[in-house]
Structure formats: C-alpha cells, structure tokens
C-alpha cells in the first residue's frame, strides 16, 4: 500500500520525502497542533521543546517556515512517508481497538503550497487524487464536505474520505483533505513574492492523507472475503506477488 501510494504520487509530479519523527513545538503550533494539554494527542519530549510527529503534514508544512518563495515555482507538491505517533486521548471502547486507532502507524501525506488565486484548483486536484486511489483499490467509499462545526479551526474547507467497515457496519475516515488558506502560512511566515510589484504575500497551504494505511488494510480484509481467501485488490497484486490472502499467510 505504501509503495502503491508513493508511486502514484510520483507519477503526478509530487516530490517525495521520508520525514523526521521529531519536530519543534513551534512548528506544531504553526501547523495548528496543540503540543500540550489534556486533550492533546501529541507526545511531547520534555525539556527539549520537541514532539513526536502525529503526521507528515507537520514537517512538510513547516519545511518552508520563514521563507519567501518564488511565485514561478508554485505550487509546490510534496508527498511524505512518516511514522505517526498519537496519544489518542479520550478514545475508549471496543470500536477503537485493532487497526481503528493506533499509537503508532505509518501514513503517506500530501502537502501543497500555492498562491491564493490557485489554491482551490489545487484542492480539487488533491480530492480527485485521493478519490482515484480509493477507486483503484475497489473499496466502497464516500466523500463528505464538512460543515463548519465539524471542521478543525485551522481549515477553511475540508473533505473527509470514508470507507465502509463491514465488521462495524459504519464508515471510517481514511483521509481528510483541507485548504487552510493563509492560516498556517501566517503562523509559519511562509510567503511568496508577487511578480508585478515584488511585494510579498502569504501562501496558501493544503494537505491530505493518501491514505490512512491501517484502516485501508482493515477495509480490504473486511470487504474482500471470498471462499478462496481475502482477495487482494488488482492494483496491489504486482506489489504483493499473489492474488489472495489465505491460510498460508
């Protein structure tokens, strides 16, 4: 799944990163994560002013902190593979066990840095990209455009992608794709220089998951059961070298 996601991103022009597991607290705050407090899902490293990253969005989004970018090079398309560490504070009950919620997991993240006039076109391209991943995996899915009350305070607009869990009989989020407009860029001082008057302006930042891999694994196992075993999605067969997960595995 990781190689499938990375290969697809490379074909779409994303520059790939393996991102650090540790980031400075000021970068987390700039992205919009609260590194401390009872409701924080972030693991802090005491006396160092650093945290374990909850997503590659943190390090990719902070990559150009304090920089003035060349408008001609925008949008910047980044894909990041990272370990993700989350406390999952306040998560209890049988439905969060197993692959639903983990303290550590791997995830492929996509980030774009763009101009204000083009950022919503970038958002559409990101939504189409994530949807394309799910279509090729053959999983039942839906896309939700979130209302203001369901979005994080950092987002201007957000689309959630959910796959059907046959075991739990409910939808599980596997990607959240957002346009933050200038919220993150303002806190991180990420700007670009306009061509006409050479003045600087705040960039727009966007991010999305491609995809939340543990839940995708669960969805494949739950939705592809056959008498021969669990059918591997056709797009993954070249990476696996087999078509079914059976009792030999």
The residue whose two tokens read 């939700």 is 144
Residue 242 region by backbone torsions, left for phi larger than 0, else alpha for psi between -120 and 50, else beta: beta
Q: Is 101 a residue of the active site?
A: yes
How far the first Cα of the chain sits from its last, in Å, is: 17
Q: Is 25 a residue of the active site?
A: no
Of the residues 122, 176, 178, 209, only one is catalytic, namely 176
CB count in 10 Å sphere of residue 85: 19
Q: Is 112 a residue of the active site?
A: no
CB count in 10 Å sphere of residue 151: 16
Of the residues 26, 87, 101, 182, only one is catalytic, namely 101
Q: Is 228 a residue of the active site?
A: no
Of the residues 25, 57, 82, 86, only one is catalytic, namely 86
Of the residues 15, 48, 88, 173, only one is catalytic, namely 173
Of the residues 112, 187, 191, 215, only one is catalytic, namely 215
Tell me the C-alpha distance between 52 and 31, whole Å: 14
Pinpoint the alpha helices (H) of the chain. 2-11, 25-31, 56-61, 119-137, 183-188, 213-223, 237-240
Q: Is 165 a residue of the active site?
A: no
Q: Catalytic site residues?
A: 86, 101, 173, 176, 215
């Amino acid at each position: 799944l990781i190689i499938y996601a990375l290969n697809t991103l490379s074909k779409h022009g994303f520059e790939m990163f393996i991102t650090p597991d540790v980031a400075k607290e000021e970068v987390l705050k700039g992205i919009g994560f609260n590194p401390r407090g009872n409701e924080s899902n972030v693991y802090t490293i005491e006396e160092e002013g650093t945290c374990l990253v909850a997503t590659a969005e943190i390090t990719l989004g902070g990559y150009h902190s304090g920089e003035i970018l060349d408008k001609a090079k925008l949008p910047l398309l980044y894909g990041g593979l990272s370990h993700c560490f989350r406390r999952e504070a306040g998560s209890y009950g049988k439905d969060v066990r197993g692959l639903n919620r983990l303290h550590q997991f791997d995830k492929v993240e996509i980030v774009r840095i763009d101009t204000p006039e083009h950022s919503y076109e970038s958002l559409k391209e990101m939504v189409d990209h994530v949807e394309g991943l799910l279509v090729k995996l053959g999983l039942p899915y839906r896309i939700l455009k979130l209302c203001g009350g369901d979005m994080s305070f950092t987002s201007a607009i957000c689309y959630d992608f959910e796959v059907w869990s046959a075991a739990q009989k409910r939808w599980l989020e596997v990607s959240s794709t957002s346009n933050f407009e200038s919220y993150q860029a303002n806190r991180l001082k990420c700007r670009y220089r306009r061509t006409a008057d050479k003045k600087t302006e705040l960039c727009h930042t966007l991010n999305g998951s491609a995809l939340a891999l543990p839940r995708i694994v669960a969805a494949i196992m739950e939705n592809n059961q056959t008498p021969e075993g669990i059918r591997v999605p056709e797009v993954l067969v070249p990476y696996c070298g087999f078509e079914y997960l059976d009792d030999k595995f």
